[in-house]
Structure 1
Amino acid sequence: MSTEIEDAIVSAARAVGFAINSTIMTTVAIDLAGSKLENGLIMVPGKGALTVQDYLKDLHARAPSGFSKVQQPDKPDSERTIGEMRRKRPLDADWHARRAKATGITKTMMDEIERTRA
Structure 2
Amino acid sequence: MLETELPDRVRDWNAQLGDLTWSTVDWMTHQSSLNGERARIDADARCRAVIALEDPGVYNWLDPGGNRQRAIMLRWTEASSGPPPSLRTVRLDSLCDALPRDTPMVDAMEWEKSLRQRRTAFQMRRRW
Larger RCO of the pair (alpha carbons < 8 Å, separation 6+): 2
**Larger Rg, first or second structure (1 or 2):** 1
Could you tell me the TM-score, scaled by structure 1's length? 0.25
Could you tell me the TM-score, scaled by structure 2's length? 0.24
Structure with greater helix percent? 1
